[in-house]
Copies of this chain bind each other. A is one copy, B any other.
């Protein structure tokens, strides 16, 4: 199994093992149905675990889905936020999207100007997926620190000691005090809707972020606030075939700003589940389960169940060739990005600021 901790995810991932390792609950189809959306990630197994989902869905709730700004967003990121956007469309829940520009300075040592630029660009990408401006708020910590959030972060920080952060994050005394403080700010992000509106928060995360949620649940108890729950999503695989799609690995990621030509050449180079030779492929068939093009169709592009099933079967039997599968994925990806880039231009950040 690959490595999964709050700062690194690599290698192949055994989701059942992760559920045990992190002590979360396996998701059930009936629970997912309660979310009321036919989002592709949700209906096709992209969400595999949770904490307290049943309890949270029993009344009003908010979704918190933070973003550590990076220079470019890729399709793996969008797939996560599309889940949030689709749940909001069905349930009308409040959505809060905090941008942890502060963490980028503290833990990663990045400079303010580039983080600021990345935050604004990332926000446009996320909001382009379609969020209700009346029910969706964003905050950029460094540029728009909000008094409720600071207040909550200070209260949270009074309930976490250095030993706990060392245990959860693996930090040492040589680490800066801001990095140690940041988990309190993250807790404040998660608890903001609860503090402000009294509704519990549902956090959509990869399992690597679960230790933060667990810590925040402890803090919530100590502050007499409702505990947050989480929805735990699979990582969309990188095009190179191992680990999740990564912003820092140019070849593994399709960026939201990629041109049709970029997309074409990236998919053409992408990891496939096809056989070494055409002959072998026709004879033994390919493996869609590990094929990057297929997985993107499954989780992000192909709405039509019948069509997806047909592709799965044809690829598995060897009737469909890797080149054909890639060609179809490229056309779908480019259509998706064309729409996305057009929606992106219409976004006014100010409409969503806290």
Residues of A with Cβ closer than 8 Å to B? 102, 105-106, 109, 112, 141-147, 150-151, 154-163, 165-166, 171-181, 183-184
Knowing that A162-B173, A177-B181, A181-B181 are A-B contacts, what are 7 other residue pairs whose CB atoms are under 8 Å apart, sorted by A's residue number? A105-B155, A142-B150, A145-B146, A156-B178, A160-B176, A162-B176, A180-B180
In the complex with contacts A157-B181, A158-B178, A173-B161, A147-B143 CB distance below 8 A: yes
CB of A111, distance to nearest CB on chain B (Å)? 10
Across the interface, A147 reaches (CB within 8 A) one of B105, B144, B161, B165, namely: B144
Across the interface, A180 reaches (CB within 8 A) one of B112, B141, B162, B174, namely: B162
**Contact (Cβ within 8 A) A173 B184:** no
**Contact (Cβ within 8 A) A176 B159:** yes
Considering only CB atoms, which chain B residue lies closest to A149 in the complex? B145
In the assembled complex, which residues on chain B have CB atoms less than 8 Å from the CB atom of A156? Answer: 178
In the assembled complex, which residues on chain B have CB atoms less than 8 Å from the CB atom of A180? Answer: 162, 177, 180-181
CB of A211, distance to nearest CB on chain B (Å)? 15
Sorted from nearest, which 10 A-B pairs have the closest CB atoms?
A157-B178, A181-B181, A145-B150, A162-B173, A163-B173, A102-B154, A145-B147, A157-B177, A177-B180, A142-B151
In the assembled complex, which residues on chain B have CB atoms less than 8 Å from the CB atom of A171? Answer: 162
In the assembled complex, which residues on chain B have CB atoms less than 8 Å from the CB atom of A173? Answer: 161-163, 166
Q: Which of A102, A162, A165, A166 has the most CB of B within 10 A?
A: A162
Across the interface, A158 reaches (CB within 8 A) one of B105, B159, B165, namely: B105
In the assembled complex, which residues on chain B have CB atoms less than 8 Å from the CB atom of A163? Answer: 173-174
CB of A108, distance to nearest CB on chain B (Å)? 10
CB of A261, distance to nearest CB on chain B (Å)? 40
Across the interface, A154 reaches (CB within 8 A) one of B106, B109, B159, B165, namely: B106
Considering only CB atoms, which chain B residue lies closest to A156 in the complex? B178
Complex Cα gap A143–B179 (Å): 24
In the assembled complex, which residues on chain B have CB atoms less than 8 Å from the CB atom of A147? Answer: 142-145
CB of A147, distance to nearest CB on chain B (Å)? 5
CB of A278, distance to nearest CB on chain B (Å)? 55
CB of A90, distance to nearest CB on chain B (Å)? 35
Complex Cα gap A161–B172 (Å): 9
Considering only CB atoms, which chain B residue lies closest to A180 in the complex? B177
Across the interface, A161 reaches (CB within 8 A) one of B146, B150, B177, namely: B177
CB of A159, distance to nearest CB on chain B (Å)? 7
In the complex with contacts A147-B142, A147-B145, A181-B180, A106-B157 CB distance below 8 A: yes
28 contacts between A and B (CB under 8 A): A106-B157, A106-B158, A109-B158, A112-B151, A112-B155, A141-B154, A142-B150, A142-B151, A142-B154, A143-B151, A145-B151, A154-B178, A157-B176, A157-B177, A158-B176, A159-B176, A160-B178, A161-B173, A161-B175, A161-B176, A161-B177, A162-B162, A162-B173, A162-B175, A162-B177, A163-B174, A177-B177, A177-B183
Complex Cα gap A159–B163 (Å): 21
**Contact (Cβ within 8 A) B178 A184:** yes
In the assembled complex, which residues on chain B have CB atoms less than 8 Å from the CB atom of A184? Answer: 177-178, 181
In the assembled complex, which residues on chain B have CB atoms less than 8 Å from the CB atom of A144? Answer: 147
Complex Cα gap A146–B142 (Å): 10
CB of A212, distance to nearest CB on chain B (Å)? 14
